[in-house]
Amino acid sequence: MWQLLSPTALLLLVSVCTQAADPSKSVVILDPPWDRLLEKDSVTLKCQGAYPPGNDSTQWWQNGTLISNQASSYSITDATVGDSGDYTCKTVLSAVSDPVRLEVHMGWLLLQAVRWVVQEGEPIRLRCHTWKNTPIQKVQYFQDGIGKKFAHKNFDFYIPNATSEHSGSYFCRGIVKNYNESSEAVRVTVQGPGSIIPSFFPPWHQIVFCLVMGLLFAVDTGLYFSVLRDLRSSKEDWRNDKVTWSRGPQDK
């Protein structure tokens, strides 16, 4: 009994505590993954989360205002600046997601990346996107105003192994329709090994709560089984007619 129940209790505790630390939130996924767009670009926002069988009904908010779309994905075609904003979603069975910020810009050139904050050792990939994918020549990327890679045709600027020296303000430049165009600069941050990405770690009060609950649970379970053992042995003693009374202080 003890051997069977203690792993079960432990599993229960672990599942309760991992849930407390990470309540099943919905997640907004961008497809394609760019969070900065030019006008006329398209993007599909997908809501990941738990859905009941046969019901993919989903709530979507832009800047905190409920929008009419109730499908699990929300497609923006021919984006306009007004599509910019913070998007959140919620499936029937999951909590409201963290916001995803979408920026729609006007212009010829736009720097894009899947992530603007990376850990040291992770790759950085920058993309020099043109309006309606217009051809571009003589493309160059800049970090903090200093020219980096150059090519005659468009290309992605790829850093396989980011270090703190790669943190900085980046833009790209090139010739579009005979005009010398530059994108706006965007900040890329490379975090050192000491820094923590907050969303991956539960807040301290939840860890303390789970530790205390775990301790209480362990003590409680221990008590339960020791009482059970005592009861069982006293029952045996009774059956064997060997009841013994411990002498209390008042008997002295």
Ligand X SMILES: *[C@@H]1O[C@H](CO)[C@@H](O)[C@H](O)[C@H]1NC(C)=O
Chain residues that interact with ligand X, rule: CB under 6 A: 55, 57, 62-63, 82, 84-85, 92, 121, 138, 161, 175, 180
Of 93 and 231, the one with the shorter C-beta distance to ligand X is 93
State the nearest-atom distance from the C-beta of 47 to ligand X, in Å.
14
Which residues have C-beta within 8 Å of that of residue 243, sequence separation ≥ 6?
234, 237
Q: Which residues pair with 62 in a beta bridge?
A: 65, 87
State the nearest-atom distance from the C-beta of 175 to ligand X, in Å.
5
In the chain the beta strands, taken as DSSP E runs, fall at 27-31, 36-38, 43-48, 58-62, 65-66, 73-76, 85-91, 100-105, 109-112, 117-119, 124-130, 137-143, 146-153, 157-159, 168-176, 179-182, 186-191
State the nearest-atom distance from the C-beta of 236 to ligand X, in Å.
54
Of 17 and 34, the one with the shorter C-beta distance to ligand X is 34
Q: Which residues pair with 105 in a beta bridge?
A: 38
> What does the alpha-carbon distance between residue 100 and residue 102 come to, in Å, rounded to a whole number?
6
Report whether 117 contacts 198 (CB < 8 A): no
Of 17 and 139, the one with the shorter C-beta distance to ligand X is 139
Of 93 and 216, the one with the shorter C-beta distance to ligand X is 93
State the nearest-atom distance from the C-beta of 51 to ligand X, in Å.
9
State the nearest-atom distance from the C-beta of 36 to ligand X, in Å.
12
Of 186 and 210, the one with the shorter C-beta distance to ligand X is 186
